A and B are shown apart, each in its own frame.
Chain A
Amino acid sequence: MTKYIAKRLIMSILTLFAIIFVLFVLIRIMPGNPFPVERMSAEMILQKRLELGLDKPILVQFADYMSMLMHGSFGNGTSLYNGAPIKPIMLKCLENSFKIGVLSILFGTLVGLVIGIVAALNRGKFLDGLCTIISILGVCIPSYVFMIFLQYFFSYKIPLFPYFFDPSKFLSSAVMPALSLSLFAISTVARFTRNEMVEVINSDYVKLAEAKGLYGFQLIRRHVLRNALIPIVTVIAPLVVDLLTGAMVIEKIYGINGVGKLMVDAIAGQGVDYNYVLALGIVFSSLYIGVMLLLDILYGIIDPRIRLAAKDG
């Protein structure tokens, strides 16, 4: 097991390194100047470039960057655009995105479970079809389209919630973005739950339990759900990362100060903020890789066959 974990860990670190390298090179060669402020003269821009070492060859810059990263600093640690330190602001934005992400995961999982269970218990009937349609819609409709829909009906037509995100009214502001983001979670969890449940319901031990006289809620809760739900962890974990990083458009249109909006602004703002784009890229990739690593290890614990397969491979 230790060997398995060590192997996965090394793979993850290598992957992260490769990602940072590709990101670094891509950002340096893409068009756009990090200091395109009309008020700066060519002389000042040159001076600034020298200060930041942007005149050196890309590989040297990369080595410098990695050494700074090892010391816990994203480049020189400040935004090229406004000079503010990156870390505290990114943490604050992560917190904002995370709060809404957690809300939507909670809601999405609960609703997804209910839909999945209802569908599984009524498989082949009308309710099953309805639940399937709902979960397919959830996967197909992009969350921001749903967000615009909610914004129009529940803020413009019926003013229930704030039209833009208002940090001083967190709860009521969070409802619409959390709902829109949960759409994907609902459908993923619902489909997964339904399939797992159907499989368990058809299994021999459930049939045995039924034969022994168990029925209804007791049977579902003690025998079906318990066994069907263990693997669901494996779906929810990547969803958390998806939500953190995938809320870009929603954060932008609803005005939430989250990491998604931070990323969009860093790329499409007035100048390409090398430091921010890289820092956010590294954080997003680390999150993904971290969760994937965790999952791999979890799989290994839940299902020893995976470990064996890895060994053979």
Chain B
Amino acid sequence: MKKVLMMALLLLAALMSGCGEESSNSGKLNVMLQSNVVSLDSAQATDSASFEVIADCIDGLMQLDADGKVIPALAQSYEVSEDGKIYTFHLRDAKWANGDAVTANDFVFSWRRHCEESTKYAYIMGSTVACVKNADAVIKKEIAPEQLGVSAPDAKTFVVELDAPVSFFPSLMCFPAFYPINEKFYNGLEKNTYGTSPETFLSNGAFMLTEYLPGAANIQLAKNNNYWDASRVSLENLQYQVVSSSDNALTAFKNGTLNLAVISGNQVENVKNDAELSKDLHTIPTGILNYLSFNQDAKNNHGGALANVNLRLAISNAIDRESLVDNYVTNGSQATYTAIPIRFAANALTGEYFASDQKQFADVVSFDVDKARTFLETAKSELSRDNFNLEMIYANDSGDTVVRVAQAIKSQVEENLPGVTMNLQPMPKAEYLDRITSNSYDIAITNWAPDYDDPMTFFTLWTTEGCEIAEHWSNADYDKIIANCTTGELAAKYNARWIAMYDAEKILLDNAVIAPLYTNAIADLISSNVSGIEFHSVAIERVYKSAKVQ
């Protein structure tokens, strides 16, 4: 018996060895993530959580300041050629955490690798977004990655050649796909292991990874003393906790475990009634647009009734968006009547958001029951049908907001449009996305988060090519405008391009390809002793470089 006891104690000691306990809390920030970080490899990452953590650790050429303006990061300065097709970035003296200098070659290597290896975000290099020379051909593996239009004439100069001028190119440089990777370090790793542990990830940014595993619920970062802007960073430790239940998050915030927690719409009311907690409540606007996607594919289950524009318009005008956000979403989200979210893509010349005029398309997107019924009557006579039985799908595993929104839309539409029945089809996200990609749905409640700070990140969704996996709508005029604005003659003309995009939006909404619902906001609880967290509606949602804990 004694021996057994001794063995047990020894085992216990062995288990505990190497588990040093630390209790210091100063300069340590604990923030919540709602879902797992997919990957710290920017060629694999697809989600805002991953981008946020990558951006904590790696700096790109440019970064966003507190107001969302693009300012230099690793690039000290840059020049653009007259035709807007050649960008020359001059790098500052910066180091990787292992002491190596950050060189232009790190960018060349990373950009080529991204085109070659990224399956999900490679397109951002291509002709619909960044227009890097030869990117499309490299992505399709038609030519060698060495032919990508990037070069490093010397260690501190990085040159990018574009196929067409891209007005928002500097802002793209804030996105992780364009961040550098240390080539020597990368080549020293086993295949596929880059960014899978603190040992296989090298930072040059504000923080270093100290605890991480793919899919980890807990990610720990520590200040990187080799960071070029280290004086700006006051946090010693930054810890991420993945919490999928918002009830759990609220409790953890109350007991001080989390300094920043995201709560759901139905918790907001309770928090507002709590004198203490309500002081910590912040509404953070985002650039995420929630909308109804109408599948116009005639092959779909219900005879392709949604291919009829009047039926789509009827539904879009029968929805009371104000009531949706006030009574069902309740986290500060804003009703939206445009295809572009409200607080997003400010005009570089006027500073005004692209969609600041929400009444611009009121003739086709509004809440007007009489108009909706007129549209419905036209649809009925055009299709010679009196009843429409439509199926609405949505993913129900990411919170209950969408569930309440779906129920509200169903009751509004059925009440305002006699003859239209909506069958709600909640399903897990994996199945939901499968249905969308395979085109087997009537109506889907969906959303889109912008990848870069330009309306085009939304508009390209609805071109004939981009529509492939969604609405199944095709319009030659629309395609022409978009092509003109991305690689065509308008690419270099800022104002004309801006106006042309409104024309495209008009075609889109006149045809009710989608029914915009609301622009997401996030209800955050932030401890009163925390300051300096920067929130952005694009690319990197939260930045902690200037965050402080008193």
Contact = CB atoms under 8 A, between A and B. Distances in A.
A140 interface: no
Nearest to A162: B257
B527 interface: no
Nearest to A251: B217
A161 to B, nearest CB: 11
Contacts of B22: 168-169
B121 interface: yes
Contact of B39 (A83, A152, A156, A167): A83
A22 B448 CA distance: 37
B213 A257 contact: yes
Contacts, number: 162
A156 B255 CA distance: 6
B437 A33 contact: yes
B146 interface: no
B348 interface: no
A82 to B, nearest CB: 4
Contacts of A261: 215, 217
Contacts of A57: none
A269 B36 contact: yes
**Most B CB atoms within 10 A — which of A84, A221, A257, A272?**
A84
B196 A85 contact: yes
B254 interface: yes
Interface string A256-294: 110001100100111110000000000000000000000
A73 interface: no
B242 to A, nearest CB: 6
Interface in B1-26: 1, 8, 11-12, 15-16, 19-22
A164 B255 contact: no
B257 A45 contact: no
Given A164-B252, A268-B397, A102 B11 contact: yes
A82 B465 CA distance: 26
What does DSSP make chain B's interface, helix, strand, loop or mixed? Answer: loop
Contacts of B36: 265, 269
Contacts of B120: 37, 39-40, 44
Interface size grouping (class) on chain A: 35 or more
Interface stretch (B59-67, B424-432, B493-501): B424-432
Interface stretch (B152-160, B243-251, B503-511): B243-251
B245 A253 contact: yes
A82 B39 contact: yes
Contact of B44 (A32, A48, A83, A171): A83
Nearest to A82: B39
B241 A168 contact: no
Interface residues of B, number: 63
Contact of B217 (A156, A164, A269): A164
A5 interface: no
A203 interface: no
Contacts of B187: none
A84 B257 contact: no
A167 B212 CA distance: 10
A32 B437 CA distance: 10
B38 interface: yes
B255 A163 contact: yes
Contact of B218 (A35, A37, A99, A257): A257
A40 B121 CA distance: 8
Given A170-B19, A171-B21, A33 B433 contact: yes
A39 B43 CA distance: 12
Given A163-B257, A164-B252, A270 B213 contact: no
A278 B408 CA distance: 40
25 contacts: A31-B430, A32-B428, A36-B432, A36-B436, A37-B433, A38-B433, A38-B448, A39-B121, A41-B465, A41-B468, A42-B468, A44-B120, A45-B437, A48-B119, A84-B39, A156-B254, A168-B19, A168-B211, A169-B19, A169-B21, A170-B16, A253-B245, A256-B217, A261-B215, A271-B430
Interchain residue pairs A-B with the least CB separation, the first 9: A36-B433, A255-B217, A32-B430, A170-B19, A163-B257, A33-B434, A82-B39, A84-B214, A84-B196
Interface of A: 31-33, 35-45, 48, 77-79, 81-85, 88-89, 92-93, 99, 102-103, 106, 110, 152, 155-156, 159, 162-172, 221, 252-253, 255-257, 261-262, 265, 268-272
